Structure 1
Amino acid sequence: MNDFNIALALAGATVLLIGMMSRLLNRTILSPPLLAFTLGVLVGPVLGLIDPQAWGNNFLILEEAARLTLGVSLMGIALRLPQRFVFDNARALTVILAIGLPLMWLVTSGLTLGFLDVGLITALMFGASVCPTDPVVSSSIVTGGVASDNLPGRFRHTLSAEAAINDGLALPFVMLPILLIKSADTALSQWLIHVLLWEVVVAVALGALLGYLAGTALRAAEARELIDQPSFLVTTLALTFLALGAGKLLGTDSILAVFVTGIAFDQQVGGKERSEEGNVQEAVNLLFTLPVFILVGLMIPWSRWLDLGWTGPGLALGVLALRRLPVILLLRPAIPPWRELPVALMAGWFGPIGVAAVFYAMLVQRETGNELVWVCASLLMTSSLVIHGITAAPVAKYYGRRYG
């Protein structure tokens, strides 16, 4: 109980202080996720004030916390994007996701085989876990005064949309090697039928239906004056929970379902309502995203990192340098929002690894018992938090001075 109260007070104080200094922090090299993660490291592994091992199944706790955080973040992105952005830029997003995401998976898996003494299946599971661009960390890069004043909207919106969609679309890449471990004979049929057709396609259909019905119901309730302001302010958060819960109960990709729900809902509302939804959801994002970074900081496997030796930092630097940038530069002629070289370089660099990698690493650990994926994913996430966090504001300011 003491651990719970310490964690509760710590999370509240962190959100309160960072929220009050958000404008100042956005102009420095210290991102809110990095600060929250550092605080978790201090009170956990360094000072020993909280011991997550005493909580029981701490891996399951972290997996569900990551899933909830991703859901809230994806709903926030759906409401923050220009209303028809996903549809108007469908071609560019298709290229990034249908070609870029598999290439990033294969590059990361290849680097893993080169640096670590692991089998192909483990390399593929790890590569899939860290290949999606994290929506939580990327939101801290593309939002705030510095980003909006210096970075072009086509870069910020496309990066946000990519991060939101590829979180859900990474699931098939994670599940394929898992299914190969469980039953190689039936893996392909299970992957095609259960993963692609059911978990992905049904998630999209479910999200579209929930978002459309919720938006239509909200407009009807407002027209008949059945809703007041306090009720309206919780609509998007309740919709997030509904999509996450319903998607999980039906065995679908609940992460993808949330984003599709937000996009479908967003098409039904507009003007004053849309602005208010975005403000509320961004406030909720701050409340949910920072505590999960504290939790990750509490649970990082320091000793297992040391066991990796020099190959751990080598893998981290190799993945951060080669997983994304060469792929985006290769594909930039087919991505109109990122076609200009300076924008493509930023888009290639800012593909952070964060909560999504934690979620998929926990999924791998639960399904296969392979903790090495979590060890490596946590190292990559920490490296990304530091390197992408400290470069976000300086790169944005440089771009604003040079090309703004």
Structure 2
Amino acid sequence: MAQPLDPTKFNLALLSLGGLLFFYALLSRFFKQQLYLSAPMFALVLGIFWGPVFHLFDLHAWGTQELILEELARLAIAVQLISTALHLESAYPFKHWRSLAIIIGPLMLSMWAISSLLVYVILNVDPWVAILIGAVLTPTDPVLASTIVTGKFAEKHLPDRVRHLLAAESGLNDGLAYPFVFLPLLMVIPSYSDPIAHWFSVIWLWDVGAAIVFGLVLGYFAGKLLKWSQRKKMMDKQSFLVYMVAVSFVALGGVKLIGSDGILAVFMAGVGFDLVVKGSERSEEENVQDALDLMTTTTMFALFGLALPWQDWLSLGWQGLLLVIAILLLRRLPVFLLLNRFIPHTKGYLDALFMGWFGPIGVAAIFYANLAAHKTGLHEVWSVVSLVILGSVIIHGISAVPLSIFYQQNISDQTNSKLPVKKRNSGIGNRE
């Protein structure tokens, strides 16, 4: 049974989290460019020290671990998705739908199939459990992707076409992973008499379809209302800076209340907002979104470090380590190389190698794994997925800076792509 939170522990948590943010913000460029240590990696390491090493905090004492991680991950994804949409050029998904159709179609389906097959073969679990774990591991994470594609370092070393396509993919496939996860969920949960019919009629038509429509409409009218308020001089600067944060929360909570996919709705709300509010008008919004993004990212990965199931990993044995290596190498890169010729937005094999490698697994997988665990009681889902997430955070985090430098030095097209470049204000949100 959950115990009341000790006020002393609460103050210690505030001190620890504040110290984490303070220390990383103070030395962020040094950590990222000299030590190759991103904010998620830094927070993860500290979370491990706070929990398994020194036993300062225990998530189980605060409530049900699955629900805590699921809801906080949902919030972190929402903040990052709206930030991702703001960083893209206006109407990006509509202008580059051909490239995105390949990436969220054949590529995403292949990633699901390959991940499921690897889990089934290496861990020898029930086929539907393997398909469920494979679905959880499918989406590329917008939180980890943002550490690769945003900030001055990324703008200097990577062309816009690479940064924007990776960002848009991570924004879209987080929400579109929802039906992938729910197909095996419906097959595992015995209460559904006709799971396939429910999957098509409810999950696809309502949960996904309604989320796209409601998100776009909400974002579009939020942009219209913002412009009306500014035209009438009814909004001050402070309110402007939190406006899109409020829109993301309305989309996340409101769409979820009607039983639809809140995560997909948040990203589509950002896309709808972009159709109305142009880049020069929303530069201030980006800064406050980036600052909030850093706070939610570090908090989420610190809690992830607290929740790592070390004993479960030991029971997986060498097969667990083999699965991590196989997923990181085979889940995405080979298929991206094969599909590269059909993606109009990429130029040459270096684009394909870089984007094929950087498909990080992070907060989205935390969300879906805990959602699956509490709905099915299959705790092995969290054991397997958390190990792969840890491997992705470490490997993709360490390789981001050197591979970005390698890409810049070897790409024949040294100049940036012709996509419109958004001028960024120098501020706390402009991560180095």
Give the TM-score, by structure 2 length. 0.92
The separation in 2 between residues aligned to 1:146 and 1:19, in whole angstroms, is 16
Aligned length: 404
- The one-letter code of the counterpart of 1:156 is R
Equivalent of 1:5, from 6, 11, 17? Answer: 11
**C-alpha displacement of 1:185:** 4.2
Equivalent of 1:114, from 105, 121, 125? Answer: 121
Matched, 1:191 2:199: yes
What are the Cα deviations for residues 230-282 of structure 1, in whole angstroms up to 9, with x where unaligned?
11111011111101110110111100000000110121112432111111111
The equivalent residue for 2:92 is 85
What are the Cα deviations for residues 187-228 of structure 1, in whole angstroms up to 9, with x where unaligned?
111000110001000001110111011111110111111111
**C-alpha displacement of 1:301:** 0.2
- The one-letter code of the counterpart of 1:90 is W
Structure 2 residue matching 1:337: 3-state secondary structure: coil
**1:313-328 alignment runs, 5 A limit:** 313-328=321-336
**1:182-221 alignment runs, 5 A limit:** 182-183=189-190, 185-221=193-229
The equivalent residue for 1:368 is 376
Consecutive unaligned residues in structure 2, runs of 5 or more = 1-5, 415-432
The separation in 2 between residues aligned to 1:20 and 1:78, in whole angstroms, is 27
**1:291-330 alignment runs, 5 A limit:** 291-330=299-338
Q: 2:66–2:371: 8 Å Cα contact kept in structure 1?
A: no
Which range moved further: 5-14 or 124-133?
5-14
The equivalent residue for 1:17 is 23
Structure 2 residue matching 1:227: 3-state secondary structure: coil
Matched, 1:51 2:66: no
Consecutive unaligned residues in structure 1, runs of 5 or more = none
Percentage identity across paired residues of the two chains: 44
**C-alpha displacement of 1:24:** 2.5
The separation in 1 between residues aligned to 2:273 and 2:376, in whole angstroms, is 36
**C-alpha displacement of 1:180:** 1.0
Structure 1 residue matching 2:282: 3-state secondary structure: helix
Matched, 1:397 2:368: no
The separation in 2 between residues aligned to 1:4 and 1:196, in whole angstroms, is 41
Q: Where in structure 1 do 4 or more consecutive aligned residues deviate above 6 Å? A: none
Q: 1:31–1:140: 8 Å Cα contact kept in structure 2?
A: yes
**C-alpha displacement of 1:136:** 0.3
How well do the aligned residues superpose, as a CA RMSD in angstroms? 1.1
Q: 1:23–1:144: 8 Å Cα contact kept in structure 2?
A: no
Q: Which has the higher helix share?
A: 1
The separation in 2 between residues aligned to 1:283 and 1:290, in whole angstroms, is 11
The separation in 2 between residues aligned to 1:70 and 1:224, in whole angstroms, is 33
**C-alpha displacement of 1:117:** 2.2
**C-alpha displacement of 1:4:** 2.6
Q: 2:89–2:279: 8 Å Cα contact kept in structure 1?
A: no
The separation in 2 between residues aligned to 1:11 and 1:186, in whole angstroms, is 46
The equivalent residue for 1:135 is 142
The separation in 2 between residues aligned to 1:288 and 1:136, in whole angstroms, is 9
What are the Cα deviations for residues 335-363 of structure 1, in whole angstroms up to 9, with x where unaligned?
12224100100001000000000000011
The separation in 1 between residues aligned to 2:254 and 2:347, in whole angstroms, is 39
**C-alpha displacement of 1:145:** 2.5
Equivalent of 1:245, from 225, 248, 253? Answer: 253
**C-alpha displacement of 1:8:** 2.1
What are the Cα deviations for residues 94-113 of structure 1, in whole angstroms up to 9, with x where unaligned?
11101111110000000001
Equivalent of 1:95, from 84, 94, 102? Answer: 102
Q: 2:39–2:297: 8 Å Cα contact kept in structure 1?
A: no
Q: Say if 1:107 and 1:159 are closer, same or farther in 2 by CA, change over 3 A.
A: same
The separation in 2 between residues aligned to 1:117 and 1:161, in whole angstroms, is 34
Q: 1:233–1:280: 8 Å Cα contact kept in structure 2?
A: yes
